[in-house]
């Protein structure tokens, strides 16, 4: 599926790794560890695909597209490093997290380094407005993380509040990824097409987070995510919010709140060891109350809106790629 943008992805990787080069050996050691076995580069892929969708046929993307794709990936990587420290996560994609090897202080500084390099790339760009877009998204991500932190272990959190959080925490960067990709090609494209790709990124990002939150509770649909992480961290994600609503509406007594309070009052390192059985119980309740099916309805709604935005751009191999990436979010 990525073959259509294979050349562009190679150029992105050259820019990404080139700008991170440093003569500080310890920094390079941390970078090598952090980016060993990297993920799918989904966000820069969306940036490049959006730029390609807006560029004239058979043309070469301008340097801004690659600088922006690299900046987007650096912002994402920096937030992951900081998140792992905040959540005290020991594993990411099955390997030890950076802070478990290099410590919290070094990991936070590494994230700060990535943010600084992202801004260096932004100011290289000739396209006006991209600095505003990406600096704003950095603020939105932080706001989302603070909202989520405040909502942890709070059973009163609503679906509306959940959406407000994930629109900042996750969807904002996806929206920015497609927006700046299209925006750096504005000499070749109508504003309506830029808006369609921007909106597509927003809906794609919300769907991505809903899907990720579902995978935390439903191992039969699990694709590499450690099951139960959100539960043990007390995160009020969509499956738990819907479960609590259904318990209040249909059950004779609230059997989730006592468990949630017990979880809240334990040290984080104790939760997985002492309450693994409780996670299994919560998963059974979710099956009993058809939580998966209801969450899927939210996921399908966001995916439908994403597909609708893609229909506003001309047919091309790049459009097919964006459709396939969206289809991959279906559970």
For the chain, give the percent of residues with pLDDT over 70.
Answer: 95
Least confident range of 269-273, 282-286, 303-307? 269-273
The pLDDT tens digits for 304-328 are 999 999 999 999 999 999 999 999 9
Whole-angstrom Cα distance, residue 278 to residue 281? Answer: 5
Average pLDDT over residues 129-139: 92
Sign of CA dihedral 147, 94, 105, 20: negative
Of 276 and 71, the structure prediction assigns the larger pLDDT to 71
Q: Angle at the Cα of 208 (from 138 to 188), degrees rounded to 5?
A: 65
227 three-state secondary structure: coil
Q: Using an 8 Å Cβ cutoff, are 89 and 97 in contact?
A: yes
The closest of 268, 185, 129 to 8, measured between CA atoms, is 185
The confidence score (pLDDT) of residue 222 equals 46
DSSP state of 182: H
For the chain, give the percent of residues with pLDDT over 90.
Answer: 70
Sign of CA dihedral 147, 163, 158, 263: negative
Q: pLDDT tier at 228 (50, 70, 90 boundaries)? A: confident
Q: pLDDT tier at 223 (50, 70, 90 boundaries)? A: low
Domain boundaries, the chain: 2-327
For 54-104, the three-class secondary structure string (H helix, E strand, C coil) is: HCCCCCCCCHHHHHHHHHHHHHHHHHHHHHHHHHCCCEECCEECHHHHHCH
The closest of 287, 123, 149 to 218, measured between CA atoms, is 287
Average pLDDT over residues 251-270: 77
The confidence score (pLDDT) of residue 318 equals 94
Q: Using an 8 Å Cβ cutoff, are 241 and 253 in contact?
A: no
To the nearest whole number, what is the mean pLDDT of the chain? 90
Of 259 and 207, the structure prediction assigns the larger pLDDT to 207
> Per-residue pLDDT for 132 more than 50?
yes
Whole-angstrom Cα distance, residue 157 to residue 151? Answer: 7
**Which residue is it, tokens 């819907």?**
242
The confidence score (pLDDT) of residue 293 equals 96
The confidence score (pLDDT) of residue 169 equals 96
Q: pLDDT tier at 49 (50, 70, 90 boundaries)? A: very high
Class (C level, CATH) for 2-327: mainly alpha
295 three-state secondary structure: helix
The pLDDT tens digits for 87-114 are 888 878 778 899 999 999 999 999 999 9
Whole-angstrom Cα distance, residue 9 to residue 84? Answer: 27
The confidence score (pLDDT) of residue 256 equals 82
The confidence score (pLDDT) of residue 221 equals 47
The confidence score (pLDDT) of residue 225 equals 54
Average pLDDT over residues 217-246: 82
Q: pLDDT tier at 188 (50, 70, 90 boundaries)? A: low
């Amino acid at each position: 599926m990525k073959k259509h943008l294979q050349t562009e992805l190679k150029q992105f990787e050259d820019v990404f790794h080139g700008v991170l080069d440093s003569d500080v050996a310890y920094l390079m050691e941390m970078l090598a560890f952090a980016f060993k076995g990297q993920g799918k580069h989904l966000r820069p892929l969306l940036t490049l695909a959006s730029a390609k969708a807006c560029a004239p046929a058979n043309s070469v993307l301008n340097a801004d597209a690659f600088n922006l794709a690299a900046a987007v990936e650096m912002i994402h990587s920096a937030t992951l490093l900081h998140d792992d420290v905040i959540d005290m996560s020991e594993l990411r994609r099955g390997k030890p997290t950076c802070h478990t090897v290099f410590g919290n202080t070094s990991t936070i500084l590494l994230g700060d380094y990535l943010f600084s390099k992202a801004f260096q790339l932004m100011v290289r760009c000739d396209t006006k407005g991209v600095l505003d877009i990406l600096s704003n998204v950095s603020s939105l991500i932080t706001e989302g993380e603070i909202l989520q932190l405040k909502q942890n272990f709070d059973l009163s959190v609503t679906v509306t509040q959940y959406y407000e959080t994930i629109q900042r925490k996750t969807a904002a960067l996806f929206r920015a990824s497609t927006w700046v990709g299209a925006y750096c090609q504005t000499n070749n494209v109508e504003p309506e097409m830029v808006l369609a790709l921007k909106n597509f990124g927003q809906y794609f990002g919300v769907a991505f987070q809903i899907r990720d939150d579902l995978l935390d509770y439903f191992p039969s649909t699990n694709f590499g995510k450690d099951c139960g992480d959100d539960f043990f961290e007390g995160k009020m994600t969509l499956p738990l919010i819907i479960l609590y609503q259904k318990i209040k509406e249909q059950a004779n007594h609230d059997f989730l709140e006592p468990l949630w309070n017990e979880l809240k009052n334990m040290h984080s390192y104790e939760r997985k060891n002492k309450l693994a059985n409780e996670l299994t119980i919560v998963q059974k309740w979710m099956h009993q109350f058809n939580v998966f099916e209801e969450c899927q309805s939210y996921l399908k709604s966001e995916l439908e809106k994403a597909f609708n935005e893609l229909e506003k751009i001309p047919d091309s191999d790049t459009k097919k790629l964006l459709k396939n990436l969206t289809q991959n979010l279906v559970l």
